[in-house]
């Protein structure tokens, strides 16, 4: 069901309504901000070729301007018109586009993406989302759409239209509602602009899946220059402190379990220990537990293998010291 809007929030309309998508495309071309669902999280969209529109994203999110944005396009052909199509990029696109994967590529000569979108870098971050409705919106807009997660910078990413309305409802022109995001984590980001592939941000496309296509993939390390979204040390953070790998529950804490290890947990990412279910529920669970009277959120250990690496990456950033 679409989330009801209030006078303080933008209109909320179903993403599968062609008229709503047409209106969203018109607003995007006019330089306005539109929130829309993808399979990963809800994005805060603006025309990636319009410096002023992109600046509105940073203003709406209170986002540091040195943190670049991902540009979303409807297909691989559109992506490779903007970034250099290396053999590795073409193989990866064939394997994982459309889907929850972003590639950082060398900017092509004449690329129209605004420099503010890529934070002045000679690279562009590009994604073809897995959501058919999102791709339909992108095709109708007729230009690349910069779309970080539709939340205030550093806060928990939104996986429902209600989350967007709560965070940014008075800062956008329209919210398209596609229900809960099935993946629930931001896209994997892999840098293919250098001599060797480098994993900048883990996500639903795992390092093992990348290496099956590319061969060895390096990991970005602390202190690396920010080349893509999600590389800030403190990110995806609720107001409450986050304590990781918890096996006990301390006074004033809420407990977020994994695998039904405690009978007194407030919420469980997945009682069966399924990392796919846990990823889809992660951000919504952090939001639900981030409430008055809760000093901290204790999180049970999540295995690091496969998708667990992406879940733990988000949790470590949520738990990092706040600037």
CA angle 126, 131, 134 (to 5 degrees): 70
- pLDDT score, position 235: 58
Q: Find the CATH number of the domain harbouring 77.
A: 3.90.870.10
Report whether the peptide linkage leading into residue 98 is cis, meaning its omega lies within 30 degrees of zero: yes
User: Are residue 200 and residue 294 in the same domain, yes or no?
Assistant: no
If asked whether residues 90 and 215 sit together in one domain, one would say yes
**DSSP, res 165:** H
Query: Do 74 and 160 reside in the same domain of the chain?
Result: yes
Question: Model's pTM, two decimal places?
Answer: 0.81
Question: Are 144 and 289 members of one domain?
Answer: no
The structure tokens 């040195």 sit at: 66
Domain with 109, as residue range(s), is: 12-219
Calpha distance 236→314 (Å, rounded): 7
pLDDT exceeds 70 at position 232: no
Please state the domain count of the chain: 2
Q: How many CB atoms lie within 10 A of CB 172?
A: 26
| Domain-ending residue, one of 219, 252, 287 | 219
Determine the pLDDT at residue 4: 42
Where residue 155 falls among pLDDT bands split at 50, 70, 90?
Answer: confident
On whether both 44 and 158 belong to a single domain, the answer is: yes
pLDDT in tens, 243-268: 999 999 999 999 999 999 999 999 99
75 with 184, same domain: the answer is yes
So what's the pLDDT on residue 5?
43
For residue 176, the model assigns a pLDDT of: 98
Are 147 and 213 found together in one domain?
Answer: yes
DSSP letter string over 168-197? HTTT-SEEEE--S-SS-SPPEEEE-SSSS-
């Amino acid at each position: 069901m679409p989330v009801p809007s209030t006078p303080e929030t933008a209109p909320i309309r179903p993403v599968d309504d062609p008229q709503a998508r047409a209106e969203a495309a018109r607003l995007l071309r006019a330089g306005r901000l539109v929130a829309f669902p993808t399979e990963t999280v809800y994005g805060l969209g603006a025309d990636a070729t319009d410096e002023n529109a992109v600046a509105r994203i940073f203003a709406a999110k209170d986002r540091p301007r040195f943190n670049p944005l991902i540009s979303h396009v409807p297909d691989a052909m559109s992506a490779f018109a903007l970034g250099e199509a290396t053999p590795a990029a073409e193989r990866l696109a064939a394997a994982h586009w459309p889907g929850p994967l972003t590639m950082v590529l060398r900017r092509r000569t004449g690329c129209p993406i605004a420099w503010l979108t890529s934070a002045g870098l000679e690279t562009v971050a590009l994604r073809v989302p897995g959501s058919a409705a999102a791709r339909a919106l992108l095709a109708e807009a007729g230009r690349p759409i910069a779309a970080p997660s539709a939340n205030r910078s550093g806060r928990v990413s939104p996986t429902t239209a209600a989350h967007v309305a709560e965070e940014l409802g008075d800062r956008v022109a329209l919210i398209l509602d596609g229900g809960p995001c099935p993946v629930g984590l931001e896209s994997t980001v892999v840098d293919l602009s250098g001599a060797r592939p480098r994993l900048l941000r883990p996500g639903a496309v795992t390092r093992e899946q990348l290496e099956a296509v590319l061969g060895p993939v390096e990991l970005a390390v602390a202190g690396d220059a920010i080349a893509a979204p999600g590389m800030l040390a403190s990110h995806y953070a609720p107001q409450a402190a986050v304590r990781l790998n918890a096996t006990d529950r301390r006074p004033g804490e809420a407990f977020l379990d994994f695998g039904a290890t405690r009978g007194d947990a407030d919420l469980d990412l997945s009682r069966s220990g399924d990392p796919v279910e846990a990823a889809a529920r992660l951000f919504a669970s952090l939001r639900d537990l981030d409430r008055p009277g809760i000093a901290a959120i204790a999180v049970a250990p999540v295995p690091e293998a496969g998708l667990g690496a992406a879940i733990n990456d988000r949790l470590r950033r949520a738990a990092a010291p706040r600037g």
